Amino acid sequence: MTEEQIYNPVNKIRIVTAASLFDGHDAAINIMRRIMQRSGAEIIHLGHNRSAQEIVETAIQEDVQGIAITSYQGGHNEFFKYIFDLLKEKGCGHIRVFGGGGGTILPSEIKDLQDYGIARIYSPDDGRHMGLQGMINDLLKQCDFPLGNELNGELKAIKNQSPHDIARVISSLENYPEKHQNLLKDINPQVKKIPVLGITGTGGSGKSSMVDELVRRFLLDFKDKKIAIVSVDPSKRKTGGALLGDRIRMNAINNDRVYMRSLATRQSNLALSKYVQGAVNVLKAAGFDLIILETSGIGQSDTEIVDHSDVPMY
């Protein structure tokens, strides 16, 4: 396969990308996530210096097929294995883990990590033989499996506010709306009167920073309350890929009382996904005390947020 050939996925693929803890080298992961986006994947990007716990919790809440990490800080053996172990411990062993670290990861260490269960550690030799697009094609092929096509009791379990169950029900509504159209009928009777704060505005106006500050103050002021966030970012018109990057600005969400789900619009010229109301209803049925809905950057004429929120904020 030549470097110019781009793998065309059958399923919508979601990947969490990050550079590992104590690692400020984010140039490589930024290049890789751009190629993944160009190839049609939806990327939840965390940036650099991210802990194993944070990466795993993000992957579960976002219901992704894969995690892609670069690690140049020398602790790759322990870091990748710990992520793999955390995923299995939380019942999410289906999430594939990929990594790279240039010459800092020895061939013997690559073999050891892959024997342990890591899906693939890409080496400089892989880059020479496969090319950048070839490595991404390999990653996407291994992550090209459906999520949410079958439910096995997750709907009944969302009242327990299990991040995995909530995430899987939202995925079923987003990926298989026709198959699970009766799901909304089951969810609607469970929906409680829970306030939805809608936050919208032009791109770069500080929406995510505002959400982060609201979450921080909410957690400080209401010790027994839980909050959920639905954050929407635009999809690329040609490829369908998306950069879901709002988490990179969120410092207060790494808390057991916070759930966050990023959605791509999966349509052009609109600030919201057409599945956003379903996601909000799932979170209401789960019993969160406040839901914040953040749109992607909009123009002055967009008013979609009004239809989905009790209090819109521009």
CATH 3.40.50.280 placement within the chain? 14-142
Q: Choose which CATH entry (3.40.1000, 3.40.50, 2.60.120, 1.10.3470) describes domain 154-313.
A: 3.40.50
Taking only the tens place, the pLDDT of each residue in 196-211 is 999 998 888 899 999 9
Taking only the tens place, the pLDDT of each residue in 66-107 is 999 999 999 999 999 999 999 999 999 999 999 999 999 999
In the chain, alpha helices (H): 27-38, 52-62, 76-89, 107-116, 124-142, 154-157, 163-175, 181-187, 207-221, 276-286, 305-308
Range of 99-103, 192-196, 304-308 with top mean pLDDT: 99-103
Question: Is residue 301 predicted with pLDDT exceeding 70?
Answer: no
- What architecture is domain 14-142? 3-Layer(aba) Sandwich (3.40)
Q: What pLDDT score does 219 carry? A: 98
Q: Which of 47-61, 89-103, 154-168, 189-203 has the lowest mean pLDDT?
A: 189-203
Taking only the tens place, the pLDDT of each residue in 104-118 is 999 999 999 999 999
Taking only the tens place, the pLDDT of each residue in 220-276 is 999 999 999 999 999 998 899 999 999 999 999 999 999 999 999 998 777 788 899
**What confidence category does residue 288 fall into, taking pLDDT thresholds of 50, 70 and 90?**
very high
Which residues partner with 120 through β-bridges?
Answer: 98
How many CB atoms within 10 Å of residue 300? 7
**How close are the terminal C-alpha atoms of the chain, in Å?**
48
Question: Is residue 58 predicted with pLDDT exceeding 70?
Answer: yes
Residue 48: phi and psi, rounded to 5, are -105, 165
